[in-house]
Structure 1
Amino acid sequence: MTRYGAANALAWDRLHPRLPRRAAWLDHGDLPVLEGTLIRLTVRHLPGDRDPKPLWLRSSRTGVCPSHVDNLWQAFPRRFDLSCRGR
């Protein structure tokens, strides 16, 4: 990763987002709990000598091992490439 320097990923398992509105859930009574894994990715530097800010990613999978966390954040920049396969 010469363009970005060292990357550091921290992950928290079984977190759930606070739903900002009930509008879509009005007829459901209690709000659902949507657990997932939250990943905070930081890099040492950005191209063009820009100041890097943390990138927050969320996966709907829970109970992920450290190697799977690495696969998740490394797949994020390639997410648009995946949708173009087979065309």
Structure 2
Amino acid sequence: MEELIGLVAIVMVFSIPLTAIWTTHLRKSQKVKSSIIKDEIELEKLKYNNFLLETEKMRIDLQQKQANLLGSSDPLILDLQKSSKTETNTISS
């Protein structure tokens, strides 16, 4: 019985530092995970802003191309414009 008490005392003495080491490790790993998640959130924000900028750039480019087509003197484009106007008028009537 005395041997069991000694064994329990030794296990208790060594388990306290091991528990401290283990909890320190868990805290550090949680900090690393937290930092990774923050970086991922920042990356998603950058991707979203980049998407908005590219979309705006494409919209402006499309408007410029439409303006160039409207100012064109190409007979095919003029015929398309006339036909689209007549279709719009018949649809609205």
TM-score, with length taken from structure 1: 0.25
Bigger Rg over Cα: 2
Per residue, is there more strand in 1 or in 2?
A: 1
